[in-house]
Structure 1
């Protein structure tokens, strides 16, 4: 979730296989036995072995900021497999022994794009006001992310609210994601540029410090807006976000110089700018796609429970169609307002894909699938087309899933559809029937119809549910 301006979270990799080693399979490298489970964590804001000043009397730089931190209220998602924590490299050892030797080897390990800025640790310490807790934007498996301010075209720190607002991601040297993932992020984003990929501005490698500097995404993550905000995202913005995220994946799969499999497509890794344009972030798990006539690469199973394609979980065979499946899950989350996995729901509803499948192929049941907070303010044809697309993306046979360029084309026309379900006679009739049969429904149109009547019109249980969030161009 790299740059999210909200949720505080930590991902751990859990060993679910018997083998922790590497072997060769199908002519490629095989990595076995790991899985990422998403949990919530907030502890000490200072990452280990840093050069952060211990004084709490004030910021390291002579300026103040009003930035605040929003803690996550989500419950942990249940993990799969054992709780043995390992590193992403397949080793049980920590990356805490990074030293100046790796700094000397850096130029040999990676040909960094010249457009990236090289920051010193002290510059980033001052830019984030000594990594103060109220500068924290969030946390991922890599480490904490801090908000900072630097020169528009340089590396020097500046006063909050001036210059360029950035997100500084630190390497937690006791965490599971280490130098290898740090290099992978630079290797990928240092050479790629696309409107739907978050922009990497620069990096810092100094002694045992590893930091990455990104553009700041003022609206945070899609996860935040879908699951933590009381104000629901309007249907049109949901489709816009799906369209932008699909274009990002299509670029990685089909337009980049070498095909890239994202491998961790989920709502927390989709970040939003002031106009709700979607950008993909956090490329630490990204992997080169198969070369030549190969259909997949064999790799250790990594990702987030609930989003990973079933054939990848079972076999370790990774392809671009694995990302397509993950996109189908996120599309369902956008349509339903439900999480991919939610252990708080009744049995049979905890897995979003399993719960939603019976609704996707039935137009009469489709209304029960759409997020009830929208209260019928969604396009009927748009919902039908989105459901058809989700079915294709979630197909059990990966070969039958569409390419992401096809997904982009399918989504392109959806924003122009204006046939609102709230104006449909069929929808109104279903409201009444659902309210009679299940007046206390927690998901679906029953809750809408069961709301109190006032002057013949239903009163919404959600205040101003269709008010679009106003863009806020102020980033400080």
Structure 2
């Protein structure tokens, strides 16, 4: 869609102008602007590109949330193809509507009855009168109450004040009812222990709150913090001083209880050397606490992103294989399939012998015995989520974990994050940069100065690129990944991520 000539003119000094679009006003005068809903990162340096001036995540999934947004149209405007979804054949109106109703769509491009939903950041934006592409940009509606107030008459203003006062009364009453409902829910929950169906299939130690308070010295030493709660270091005096990690859930009543039960059901019935072991729990009153074996070397994220001394190539391949085996166990060897749904470096922990163990099953999906796919709301962490999470009416399978594993593999190989805004412009998106290095035969750039067997490096990169294919059927299973890693089967060259869409 974007010509090489335009790229050369636009880049000039290797600038990408992320999330902006540019037009040639003649005499080599290129002017770049932000699309609606975007602002310059630095108004004094427009070449740094643009950023969204609103966040969609906060209210997108609420009923009627589409009323908070509108579509702004940019004629003859196109960005480089890097889409997470392609719709065809569709009309212009259907393309615009599809973006408006998709929580993860910010821009959609329409051309020849085809609708492209590109991933952010947008790159190589161009406005050219000869381009047949029309772009639709999702924009949050602004508050126009002040403008309306100036135009309406005095009588309507008074009426509005009365209505607002009445609304405040209703709001206060509703707030009181919601508050009392929450208190009632908490009382119901605190009046009983864990439901029998949660504890029926697991064999874990039940701790009292006082026992864990003593074990952690009143939750003194915090060693981790996540969206659902905090993790503290402790030891069990009655078990020879065995060191433990105590995860104390602190979210709202419903969410905390749901994640607690989910993790109990899933990890309580799994037994594998590459999964964190759950030792016990506390389900006393309002306290929801999980007790794990202590992982003394912290998270994989700290190891590959923060430690000054990066792991050797041998350690990187060992960790990758261990994570693959843990996922294969969840997908194929458990009594029922389990989709982890949140594979990322900080959910892989390292024990004292530097073995990798998958952790944090709060968002996982436990499938029924005869079930291979499920429909559920998007879950996980941005940057690691498979494209199918964002497609309407598309089932999710264990291949969603395979995609996340592919991103993780590339991060382990390169010891850098999948999105790094401090990197050179053409290296910001790890997956795209690695793909270009692979196609150019320059994979040594990916690992820098680390000593590595180039054949092994190429094999690992090819596996990673297979795992991040857009179409689920193109991705391997975790069993196939393991067989490719140990050389049992040959790893074929992967296609370009967008080759199917381009064809």
Please tell me whether residue 122 in structure 1 is matched to residue 196 in structure 2. no
Q: Report what 1:147 is aligned to.
A: 233
Instruction: Give the CA deviation at 1:311.
Output: 2.1
Please tell me whether residue 341 in structure 1 is matched to residue 429 in structure 2. no
- Change in CA separation of 1:259 and 1:19 when aligned onto 2, cut-off 3 Å: same
Contact map agreement 1:309 1:326 (CA 8 A) in 2:
yes
- Secondary structure, counterpart of 2:194 in structure 1: helix
Contact map agreement 1:259 1:289 (CA 8 A) in 2:
yes
d(CA) in 2 for partners of 1:20, 1:408: 43
Q: Report what 2:303 is aligned to.
A: 225
* Larger fraction in helix: 2
Please tell me whether residue 211 in structure 1 is matched to residue 289 in structure 2. yes
Provide Cα deviations, 1:229-259, integer angstroms capped at 9, x if missing partner.
Answer: 1011101001110010000000000110001
Provide Cα deviations, 1:283-313, integer angstroms capped at 9, x if missing partner.
Answer: 0010024764x66311111111111111222
- Change in CA separation of 1:99 and 1:411 when aligned onto 2, cut-off 3 Å: farther
Q: Report what 2:405 is aligned to.
A: 327
Contact map agreement 1:95 1:179 (CA 8 A) in 2:
no
- Secondary structure, counterpart of 2:445 in structure 1: coil
| Bigger radius of gyration | 2
Work out the number of aligned pairs and report it. Answer: 327
Please tell me whether residue 301 in structure 1 is matched to residue 378 in structure 2. yes
d(CA) in 2 for partners of 1:386, 1:198: 25
Q: Report what 1:265 is aligned to.
A: 343
**2:432 corresponds to which of 354, 358, 365:** 354
Q: Report what 1:402 is aligned to.
A: 476
Unaligned regions of 5+ residues in structure 2, if any? 1-54, 65-100, 105-120, 122-138, 141-177, 489-503
- Change in CA separation of 1:181 and 1:349 when aligned onto 2, cut-off 3 Å: same
Contact map agreement 1:142 1:175 (CA 8 A) in 2:
no
d(CA) in 2 for partners of 1:263, 1:219: 24
d(CA) in 2 for partners of 1:388, 1:142: 35
Provide Cα deviations, 1:442-473, integer angstroms capped at 9, x if missing partner.
Answer: xxxxxxxxxxxxxxxxxxxxxxxxxxxxxxxx
- Secondary structure, counterpart of 2:272 in structure 1: coil
Q: Report what 1:7 is aligned to.
A: none
Contact map agreement 1:221 1:272 (CA 8 A) in 2:
yes
Q: Report what 2:189 is aligned to.
A: 101
- Change in CA separation of 1:378 and 1:187 when aligned onto 2, cut-off 3 Å: same
* Superposed CA RMSD: 3.2
- Change in CA separation of 1:412 and 1:274 when aligned onto 2, cut-off 3 Å: farther
d(CA) in 1 for partners of 2:458, 2:253: 43
Instruction: Give the CA deviation at 1:103.
Output: 5.2
- Change in CA separation of 1:348 and 1:312 when aligned onto 2, cut-off 3 Å: farther
Provide Cα deviations, 1:170-210, integer angstroms capped at 9, x if missing partner.
Answer: 01145994100100000111111111110000000111111
- Change in CA separation of 1:14 and 1:167 when aligned onto 2, cut-off 3 Å: farther
Instruction: Give the CA deviation at 1:222.
Output: 0.5
Taking structure 2 as the reference length, the TM-score comes to 0.60
- Secondary structure, counterpart of 2:192 in structure 1: helix
Contact map agreement 2:267 2:278 (CA 8 A) in 1:
yes
